[in-house]
Amino acid sequence: MRLVAAMLTPSQAKRQQVVFVGRVLWGGGAERVTFDLAHSLNRSRFEPHVVHLFDLPECPIRYDPAIPVHPVEPVTRMLLAELLPPPPPERPQPGWVQAGLRYYRLLDPSLRGRLALGARLRGAYHRWKSLRATLAARRRPQPPAPPSATTTPSPIQREMSRLLGPLADLWPQTLGLKRVLNRFDPDAILVPIMEEAAVRVWLTQVFTRRRYIASLHSVESFNLPLIYPDRERLADEEWLFSNACRSAEVVTVPSTGCRDDLSNHYGVPPANVRVMVNPVACDWIRQHARAPLPEPPAAGKTLFVQVARLDYDKNPDLLIDAADLLRRDMDDFVVLMLGKGSRRAELEAKIQARGLEAHVRLLGEVTNPYPFMAAARALVLTSRVESFALVLLEAMLCGAVPISVDCPFGPREVLEGDRYGLLVRPDDPEALAQAMLRIARDEDLYQTLRARGPERASRYDLAGVVREWEALLDEVCAARPPRPIASAAAPPA
């Protein structure tokens, strides 16, 4: 068989289906990784598909038409019958019963109401069936109970009983995902992206066991409490997430810190977690960095940029506080904050209250941020946590020196300490302001770090990361059949 397969041309050989399952088609770094991997896998060997759980009002990207995109429609009660076995056909009523019903319907309605014959007959009929079943059971010899029949529930029974209660709201989307997955080959490899997709893919294992690689891109012990502030709901979600990871063939994370976080907080064996760095599309970024800007963003002043959501976890307040302190030592600078988020109004009010309108500007979401990076002296990252910090590598490619807080876990790994940028203490606006001042004033330091950046970013180039992913997919394909579902972790208290 191997010889026959080797003789087949790429067009004749069956390609391995790889199904990426994500929450939405576009949003942040995880969606960018999915887009790059789907477009870069060897099409002669792999057949990529993309499944998204939710729609976006507007999606700024379009997948190659050769990559099928499958939306998930939640399954309602009416559609649930498609996933369940058909009910057994009803037995026809005996002829004497049918004849009696015909004569009974000819009686006067008032007389029928007084007789209530239908209710009495139905009650007698069910009592007779119950008695017959009881007598038959007593006559039937009972085999001795095996020693192990202690009614201990199986792992899947424990999982189902845990899920059918507080988290029943997951099932419509999960059943919808199951309907989509039925379109693919039984040996297709699923790649759920992030925790929400991983949990739903795990829940579909109740119906059909499939191999899947859980691809995670967050510091989960920080991220999940942010998403689910209610303690009981958080406990449920962490239980689901832990079991989804432990049942995957492999879990991929972008940094060693994320691997340790999974093992320490969610009981995922380290041997089952693979560090797969996020890819950088170097040529694509360089090309887009050359796009012209409508006007010089800083008009001769030192330019700092930040590309991040205006949300709590990105800590944009820290950059505004640092800019306020930096103003004491230099006045000819501008900070451009690129991104949208829930805290924009608060940040605008803070900028006005500090009198920083001439120094800090919120530009909102920008489709192509790379020309701003190319024009900047430095890119500033202030996040509370970063699983990888892909934006630091993108800045290096564009010529901006990275300045980052030393948050868990990505920046220190990407920058190798201070070798490829400057690391400062988290939540320290004074330290951040001094780092910005050093990059603005110390020309030797700036040129040294700027020259090292492109070489560092090229180590994460898309082509090399894709080869690692293809090797991982081959490894999972060779491991047949799928690993059994892990025994469910203890339910939360």
The structural domains of the chain, with segments of one domain joined by +, span 10-80+154-279+471-478, 282-460
Do 382 and 249 contact (CB within 8 A), yes or no? no
Is residue 390 pLDDT above 60, yes or no? yes
- With both helix axes pointing from N to C terminus, report the angle between 316-326 and 429-441 in degrees, rounded to the nearest 10: 60
Is residue 413 pLDDT above 50, yes or no? yes
The DSSP letter of residue 142 is: P
> How many helices (H) does the chain have, and how many strands (E)?
20, 13
Helix (H) or strand (E) holding 336: strand 333-338
Burial grade of 384 (CB within 10 A; 0-12, 13-18, 19 or more)? middle
Q: Estimate to the nearest angstrom the gap between the alpha carbon of 440 and the chain centroid.
A: 38
Is residue 475 pLDDT above 60, yes or no? yes
In which residue are the tokens 């069956």 written? Answer: 14
Is residue 463 pLDDT above 80, yes or no? yes
**Nearest to residue 424, comparing CAs of 438, 445, 444?**
438
Compute the distance between CA of residue 57 and CA of residue 72 in angstroms, rounded to an integer.
Answer: 15
In which residue are the tokens 């942010």 written? Answer: 226
Q: Looking at residues 355-362, what average pLDDT do you find?
A: 97
Phi-psi region of 166 (alpha: psi -120 to 50; beta: other; left: phi over 0): alpha
Between 146 and 184, whose confidence is greater?
184
Compute the distance between CA of residue 231 and CA of residue 225 in angstroms, rounded to an integer.
Answer: 8
Instruction: Decide whether 10-80+154-279+471-478 matches 282-460 in CATH topology.
Output: yes
Do 395 and 402 contact (CB within 8 A), yes or no? yes
**pLDDT (tens digit per residue) in 449-459:** 999 999 999 99
What CA dihedral angle connects 200, 201, 203 and 205, to 10 degrees? Answer: 170
**pLDDT (tens digit per residue) in 69-127:** 999 998 765 454 555 545 566 667 677 667 776 766 677 777 766 666 666 766 676 67
Q: In the prediction, which pLDDT does 281 show?
A: 94
pTM comes to 0.77
Is residue 138 pLDDT above 80, yes or no? no
Compute the distance between CA of residue 454 and CA of residue 294 in angstroms, rounded to an integer.
Answer: 26
Strands of the sheet containing 46-52, edge to edge, are 69-71, 46-52, 16-22, 189-192
Compute the distance between CA of residue 198 and CA of residue 146 in angstroms, rounded to an integer.
Answer: 38
Q: Where are the alpha helices (DSSP H) in 140-170?
A: 155-163
Compute the distance between CA of residue 395 and CA of residue 370 in angstroms, rounded to an integer.
Answer: 8
Is residue 144 pLDDT above 90, yes or no? no
In the structure, what pLDDT confidence band is assigned to residue 7 with cuts at 50, 70 and 90? very low
Return phi, psi of residue 456, to 5°: -65, -45
CATH 3.40.50.2000 applies to domain 10-80+154-279+471-478: yes
**Which segments within 154-290 are labelled E, that is strand?**
189-192, 213-215, 250-253, 273-275
**Nearest to residue 186, comparing CAs of 200, 207, 159, 166?**
207
Compute the distance between CA of residue 223 and CA of residue 195 in angstroms, rounded to an integer.
Answer: 10
3-state secondary structure of 378: strand
Q: Looking at residues 379-394, what average pLDDT do you find?
A: 97
Q: Would you call the peptide bond into 297 cis, given omega within 30 degrees of 0 as the criterion? A: no
* Max intra-chain CA distance, the chain: 107
Q: Where are the alpha helices (DSSP H) in 93-182?
A: 95-105, 109-115, 117-139, 155-163, 171-181
Between 55 and 137, whose confidence is greater?
55
Compute the distance between CA of residue 351 and CA of residue 409 in angstroms, rounded to an integer.
Answer: 29
**pLDDT (tens digit per residue) in 185-223:** 999 999 999 999 999 999 999 888 999 999 999 999 999
In which residue are the tokens 């996040």 written? Answer: 383
What does pLDDT average to over the chain?
86
User: What top-level class would CATH report for the domain 282-460?
Assistant: alpha beta
Compute the distance between CA of residue 263 and CA of residue 254 in angstroms, rounded to an integer.
Answer: 14
Q: Looking at residues 232-259, what average pLDDT do you find?
A: 94
Do 354 and 317 contact (CB within 8 A), yes or no? no
3-state secondary structure of 251: strand
Between 340 and 153, whose confidence is greater?
340
Cβ-Cβ contacts under 8 Å for 313 (sequence gap 6 or more) = 222, 223, 226, 383, 384, 385
In the structure, what pLDDT confidence band is assigned to residue 6 with cuts at 50, 70 and 90? very low
